Structure 1
Amino acid sequence: MPFIETKDRTSIHFTDWGGADRRPIVFTHAWGVHKGMWDYLLPEFLDAGYRCIAYDRRGHGRSDIAELRCDLDTLADDLAELLESLDLRDVLLVGHSLGGAEAVRYLTRHGSGRVAGLVLSAPSAPMLAQAPGNPNGIPPEVVGAMRQFVRTDIGAMLDSWQVEDFFGTARPISAALADSVRRQMVDTPVPVMLATFETNMGVDLTAELPGIELPTLIIQGDADINNPLELTGRRCAELIPHASLTVLPGAGHGLYLGEADAYADAIGSFAALLPGRHRSAAVFAG
């Protein structure tokens, strides 16, 4: 299994499918889960001619964690070390939820020299928590209740999820597949879940988003109750200079599975128009 070792001696696990002559897509996953969230999308992108790299955030999946450092700068630095270790160029960077915030911080911290385009999928950006500059954010009492669930019994919170609310209704999701997403969260170490929860809820990228000069696709469902569209994706589209927003009607936070066909089509069409030295990949027929 391929790993890289970061400067603080954390082993980051990744998978790398496709050839070096293809445009690389690097996938960063959501809070609490691991790179397995992308598994059912990868064949679509591989068939369309892309190289697909997905990795486990430190402390998640098969990645270890040398010390409990899960601030956004550290997570962005891990992404930078992965791109540098593999010497990736002309990357399409796809980040979902917290992974979207990581992608933004990577670009503002490390620059866009290796990246051709950005996809923010239901992003945890500009910010989630209620604050003077974000009056419609998640109230402190709700954040506190969620924190308590993560600390004591995240299963109780997951039991309250409705499959249709999270994934949407366009594509039926089996109980086994929905359970596998829950299992990823239950299996992530509690200290890591708490640390990344604080990172996710503490994000404020409002001042960073206008500095992103890359072509950017924001894709989100209008029924997302985790990261509501008007709070996150819509505001990102207003703040990023070269952003386009694709809204999938009726889709929830798990649109990468619940709206997999439309989701892959939108990203594939966006990717096919990006400049770069890699041979062109196909636009999805959809």
Structure 2
Amino acid sequence: MPFIRTRDGVDIFYKDWGPLDAQPIVFHHGWPLSADDWDNQMMFFLGEGYRVIAHDRRGHGRSTQTWEGNEMDTYAADVAQLAEALNLRDAVHIGHSTGGGEVARYVARYGGDSRVAKAVLIGAVPPLMLKTAANPGGLPIEVFDGFRAALVANRAQFYRDVPAGPFYGFNRPGAKPQEGVIANWWRQGMQGGTKAHYDCIKAFSETDFTEDLKAIAVPTLVMHGTDDQIVPIGASAHLSAPLLRNAQTKIYDGLGHGMCTMNPDVVNPDLLAFVRS
């Protein structure tokens, strides 16, 4: 399996499919998942002739189960080292949820010198998930303390309850849970490290990406579902788009946080149209 080793000795697993001379599309997964969460989109864009790349964030999936560095600055630095190792130029970076935060920080800090052509934030955590005096629409700290407590108490059960409930909207009246989707989420989550996942809750909930968003100059597509129960649209897309210099927004009525998995027939064509535009 392909890995790069970061400067602090962490092995980062990645997939790199398609023609090496094609435009690269880099996918950044959400918490606590892995590159496998992008299988549908990677196959779709591979079929359209693109080079598709996805990595397991440190502490997640097949990458090293790290004790340290489980925060956004290091996540972005890891992506920069991956992009350098693969010599990625003119890349489109697509991030979902926590991966959207990773994209924002990476593009803001390392996206110059023709490294990045465009960015996409899907159900993404920027600008800030945590409720503060300056961010009254965010979620209270007790929500994230609850995540931490549930992870420590019984991670396996917690990682079953999240996809079986709010992540994919299976808790909505009339929804039909899909066992394969739930089990695949559980599989990805349990493959990563408990300590890294615990730390990442702070990273995705308390990191303020306001200045990152302001610094991004490349065209950026913000995509969000109105029924997102994990990252509320009012605390994310509606606030992120005005901070970006060159933003487009696609809002999906009734779609939830896991729309890339549940609604690829809607999401993929919109992604392709943006990449080609």
CA RMSD of aligned residues (A): 1.9
Of 160-169 and 18-27, the range deviating more from structure 2: 160-169
**How far does residue 21 in structure 1 lie from its aligned partner after superposition?**
2.1
Q: Which has the higher helix share?
A: 2
Aligned to 1:10: 10
Distance 1:109 1:96 in 2: 19
Q: Paired residue for 1:194, among 191, 198, 210? A: 198
1:43 counterpart = 2:40: no
Aligned to 2:25: 25
CA contact (8 A) 1:11 1:65 kept: no
Structure 1 stretches of 4+ moved >2 Å: 154-169, 171-174
Distance 1:71 1:97 in 2: 15
Secondary structure at the counterpart of residue 234 of structure 2: coil
Aligned to 1:216: 220
CA contact (8 A) 1:8 1:66 kept: no
Aligned to 1:34: 34
CA contact (8 A) 1:165 1:223 kept: no
- The alignment's TM-score, normalised by the length of structure 2, stands at 0.93
CA contact (8 A) 1:32 1:188 kept: yes
Secondary structure at the counterpart of residue 198 of structure 2: helix
Secondary structure at the counterpart of residue 235 of structure 2: coil
Q: Specify the code of the residue in structure 1 equivalent to 2:225.
A: G
Note the alpha carbon deviations across 1:80-127, whole angstroms, 9 max, x for none. 000000001110000111111111111222233300000001111100
Distance 1:187 1:140 in 2: 27
Distance 2:70 2:206 in 1: 12
CA contact (8 A) 1:172 1:258 kept: no
Which runs of structure 2 are paired with 1:93-104 in the superposition (5 Å)?
93-104=93-104
**How far does residue 173 in structure 1 lie from its aligned partner after superposition?**
6.4
Distance 1:94 1:125 in 2: 14
**How far does residue 168 in structure 1 lie from its aligned partner after superposition?**
4.8
Identity of aligned residues (%): 33
Secondary structure at the counterpart of residue 266 of structure 1: helix
- Give the paired residue count: 273
Aligned to 1:248: 252
Unaligned runs of 5+ in 1: 274-286
Aligned to 2:143: 142
Secondary structure at the counterpart of residue 16 of structure 1: strand
Aligned to 1:52: 52
Unaligned runs of 5+ in 2: none
Note the alpha carbon deviations across 1:23-69, whole angstroms, 9 max, x for none. 10001110111111011222111111111001111111111145421
